[in-house]
Amino acid sequence: MCNCCNIIPGDVLLRLSKKKSLTTATRKSLADTLKYDVELRKLRVQARKLTLVAQEVVRERATLAPIPAITICNCNNTQSLPGGPMPHPAAAVDPTVKRVFETTTNVVDFFDKVFSRNSIDDAGMTLMSSVHYGNKYNNACWNGSQMTYGDGDGDIFVDFSQGIDVVCHELMHGVTQHTIQLGYANEPGGLNESISDVFGTMFRQWKAGQPVTRADWLMGTDIMGPAAIKDGYVCLRDMARPGAKHCLTRQPYHYSKYKAGMDPHYSSGIPNLAFHKVAMAIGGNSWGKAGQIWYRALTGFGPSPNMRMRAFANRTRRVASELYPGDAASAQAVDLGWKQVGL
């Protein structure tokens, strides 16, 4: 099964493609998406290898730009990447082009204002996005060098650019690639997916100005199509209740339920719930102390491609004490949040 850095796991696409209550066209679009994802994964794997080599060879990185350029290309429902460049995306008539430009700009602002980070690589890397990829392509993905968005089939999924948490989730895969460099299988894969969910949710809350007590903690609510909603699926994942029936991707929520080889889109439910519990216990805004602890654990220690969940949990415990010395309540919140999920 494809483990590409995209928002919809392969087994969900496969399961829905066999659902006889859906139209033939919808089932075909789901099956076709899975085929594309298998090949897109190869791009991501090679790009990750190149990033690893580049960081080993180049010790001193030059800053490309003080503010990253944001470019949007239109695939016009072909599979040709990156597609045709859009000269003035901020004023585009096409709502998807304009929306992706605006959301990506907002994510850049989020990275800068909250974490003092300059783009994905912290050196002003240009952020390229391709929209209208494929015919009813049912996914969004980071392929190792750029973003790609499908329009959805209009039945199970709608235009993937409509989910601002989805946009940030995928861009965070790029941040992970340029920092901790987690692999995409077993426990490192689950951490990889969780980090993208954590910061995607964090961004959505930041944009809405929501404290943790007012947020719904749902991922992907804005990309669910009418057929999915009719079946009771209101989101892809729920960080507060990973196993809830309203999630299209129901997840385990305790480490005792983890199994080797589990798809990262599922095992990520364990660290997702830990972050939720930590953020709720600390209170305030998720991008405050809880978010700063997670960000330092992600970016402050160099590559750890094989890091397991317990090691990451212990790292956040250490970071909490270092970032907020004397704040016993926050340190206790981090410790207890992980213990509640078995770590």
Catalytic positions are 170, 265
For residue 209, is it left (φ>0), alpha (ψ between -120 and 50) or beta? Answer: left
Q: What does residue 217 show for φ and ψ, rounded to 5 degrees? A: 65, 25
d(CA 209, CA 217): 14
| Nearest alpha carbon to residue 177 among 304, 263, 300 | 304
Cβ–Cβ < 8 Å for 140, 159: no
279 phi and psi angles, rounded to 5 deg: -65, -40
Of the candidates 281, 278, 280, 261, the residue with the CA atom closest to the CA atom of residue 312: 278
Tokens of 276: 């939720």
Computed on alpha carbons and rounded to an integer, the radius of gyration of the chain in Å comes to 19
- Are residues 103 and 134 in contact, defined by beta-carbon separation less than 8 angstroms? no
Nearest to 111 by CA among 178, 183, 190, 188: 178
The Cα–Cα gap between 85 and 80 comes to 12
Q: Token digits for 303?
A: 């590559």
108 token code pair: 């850049």
Cα distance between residue 125 and residue 171, in whole Å: 12
Amino acid at 26: T
Phi first, then psi: give them for residue 252, nearest 5 degrees: -70, 155
Is 246 buried (19+), middle (13-18) or exposed (0-12) by CB count in 10 A?
Answer: middle
Tell me phi and psi for residue 147, to 5 degrees.
-95, 150
